[in-house]
Amino acid sequence: MHQTLLLCLALMLAVTLLVMVGQRLRIPVPIFLVISGLAVSLIPGIPRIEIDPELIFLIFLPPLLYEAAWFTSWKEFWRWRRIIIVLAFGLVIFTSVAVAYVSSAVMPEFTLAMGFLLGGIISPPDAVAATSVLKEVKISKTTVSILEGESLVNDAASLIVFRFALAAVISGSFVWQEASVDFLLVTFMGIVVGLVVACIFYAIHRWLPTSTRISILLTFLAPYIMYMAAEEFEVSGVMAVVSGGLFLSNQSHVILNHSSRIQGTGMWATVVFALNGLVFILIGLELPVIINGLDGYSKTEAILYALLITGVIIVTRMVFTISASYFTQFIGKYITVAQRNPGLRGPIVLGWAGMRGVVSLASALSVPLTIQDGVPFPHRNLILFITFVVILVTLVFQGLTLPLVIRWVQPKELVERTPEDRQETKIRLKLLKVALQYLQQNYAEASSQNELVENLKNRIESDLHQTKRHLDSVESDGENVAQYNEIMIDIIRVKRDELHRLRSIQEFDDEVIRREEARIDLEEEKIDHPIH
């Protein structure tokens, strides 16, 4: 027990240090962690780590999916819903079919059912890896929104394909009609279970006396209960977490107070950072275990098969995304689509951003050791090895070259968007107008009799005037905005230095100092990272 705890602490410390080094070297975190884990695993004397797939599915997957759903823009998801659904389901099935037929044709004694099993394992891209790479380059919001939306749903599609293919390998039979109906049923009922559990949590948040800490704890428990409830009914736990997370996120302004939202955001950021870091470094550390289990195949054979399958999924995704662009142009003549002429620049980037990750590894590890009557599961070790190589090659090769592809292609925004600083200023202007109008209509007498209320009215009027002037400056000259931001950051630095000096003065409580420091932090955050 103590050794396990020590190993977990050592891994967390290693993840933290490696992330800092990776950021200094400007290498995307998932890529650097996988390479580092691979390098560490080759050091003599390092203990072999075997990952329990149930640990990843039950402990890691629900919070990672829930956090992604919580911070996904429903507006963007709905705007690009067609291409997201096509990528999440159509591309997963298309990739599985391609992998199934190629692998069964090339690998000796590798049946079509085993090919579908392998296809279901390696078909879903990992959005964490893609978005980590995309943070380093300038990319359109449309591309990021589509990738994030795809990642919410494609895990469910791939796991369902995996589930039916595994049953076919074990039973020796596969009926397309039954599988298609079950596919739709498992998906739909997973959504239903997720929404039912989400409604229960909504009621708890809404009508029971909850504090900030209780509210944050409930948001942490929700994805696990959604996932386990769905799995108990043998439907898609992934779809349950995604649908429930989207619903509760859309109601967060009702069920959470400001403290819960601010503190919850920090909590989830830390949890997801730790879980993602652990998973990616464990992928690298798992290599020796996978190679040692590679019986019946030479390493050269296994590597050639793995590289061939990797090439198949890369080419398949590129062909599918480019074809989808042409199909959108055609179908846009007959139905309403979000963008009738998407071009090829965006699809090329979407196609190249197909890095694989945690779900693929967990699915491969969950393949049972034996089938009926204790017979060893055929080609299990080869499936594991191919999955690992696919993850490694797509993460490192595609991940490191994705910024170069983006600079070469230079994808453009597909829809006209107002600059974010202008959006923020216009929103603040509207809020101030509403506040001032409400104050004048409902508290006119209090404004004339209560000096504090009158000061509030004057302050809102002053803020309204200053915001109007700020909006005019933003719309007229971008250089003024850049200079303004530089000056604001400098002023914030001076304020923070003064706060540090005030800490030593007995007159001011630390709690008051911390509150003011948090307010200043929010000001600086808005300048460094404008609201998306």
| 248 in any annotated domain | yes
Q: What is the pLDDT of residues 121-164, one digit of tens each?
A: 898 887 667 766 776 667 777 888 888 888 878 877 787 788 77
Do residue 240 and residue 347 come from a single domain? yes
* The token pair that represents 186 in the structure block: 């498992």
Q: What is the pLDDT of residues 390-438, one digit of tens each?
A: 988 898 888 888 888 888 888 777 677 767 667 777 777 887 888 888 8
Total length of the chain: 532
Tracing tokens 């955001």 back to the chain, one arrives at: 265
Domain count, the chain: 3
By three-state DSSP, how is residue 370 classified? strand
In whole angstroms, give the CA distance from residue 127 to residue 88: 12
| 525 in any annotated domain | yes
Per-residue pLDDT of the chain (532 residues; tens, 9 = 90+): 576 678 778 878 888 888 888 888 878 777 788 888 888 777 777 777 766 666 777 888 889 888 888 887 777 888 888 888 888 888 988 999 999 999 989 988 888 888 888 998 898 887 667 766 776 667 777 888 888 888 878 877 787 788 778 877 777 666 666 667 777 888 889 999 999 999 999 999 988 888 888 999 999 999 999 999 998 998 888 889 989 998 998 888 788 887 787 788 888 888 888 887 887 787 777 777 777 766 667 778 888 999 999 999 999 999 999 888 877 776 666 666 556 666 777 788 888 888 888 778 778 877 877 776 677 788 888 888 898 889 888 988 888 888 888 888 887 776 777 676 677 777 778 878 888 888 888 888 877 778 888 888 888 888 888 887 777 766 665 566 676 677 778 777 887 788 777 777 776 766 677 777 777 777 776 665 544 3
pLDDT at 530: 47
**pLDDT > 70 in the chain, percent:** 83
Do residue 348 and residue 390 come from a single domain? yes
* The token pair that represents 415 in the structure block: 């829809």
Are 325 and 347 contacting, i.e. CB atoms less than 8 angstroms apart? yes
| 120 in any annotated domain | yes
Do residue 302 and residue 369 come from a single domain? yes
Q: SS3 letters for 510-529? A: HHHHHHHHHHHHHHHHHHHC
| 414 in any annotated domain | no
Among 398, 361, 394, 385, residue whose Cα is nearest residue 162: 361
Do residue 73 and residue 88 come from a single domain? yes
User: What are the DSSP calls for 253-271, one per residue?
Assistant: HHH--HHHHHHHHHHHHHH
Do residue 322 and residue 436 come from a single domain? no
Do residue 431 and residue 507 come from a single domain? no
Do residue 238 and residue 340 come from a single domain? yes
| 495 in any annotated domain | yes
| 235 in any annotated domain | yes
Do residue 449 and residue 363 come from a single domain? no
Tracing tokens 């911390």 back to the chain, one arrives at: 514
In whole angstroms, give the CA distance from residue 532 to residue 527: 12
Do residue 400 and residue 350 come from a single domain? yes
**What residue type is 93 in one-letter code?**
I
In whole angstroms, give the CA distance from residue 432 to residue 247: 29
Do residue 487 and residue 459 come from a single domain? no
In whole angstroms, give the CA distance from residue 118 to residue 97: 10
Are 276 and 64 contacting, i.e. CB atoms less than 8 angstroms apart? yes
Are 317 and 130 contacting, i.e. CB atoms less than 8 angstroms apart? no
| 57 in any annotated domain | yes
Do residue 175 and residue 277 come from a single domain? yes
Cα–Cα–Cα angle for 145, 523, 215, nearest 5°? 65
Do residue 522 and residue 384 come from a single domain? no
Q: Give the domain extent around 47.
A: 2-409
| 65 in any annotated domain | yes
Tell me 415's DSSP state: S
Q: What's the whole-number average pLDDT of the chain?
A: 80
Residue 263: which CATH number?
Answer: 1.20.1530.20
Structural element, H or E, at residue 319: helix 299-331
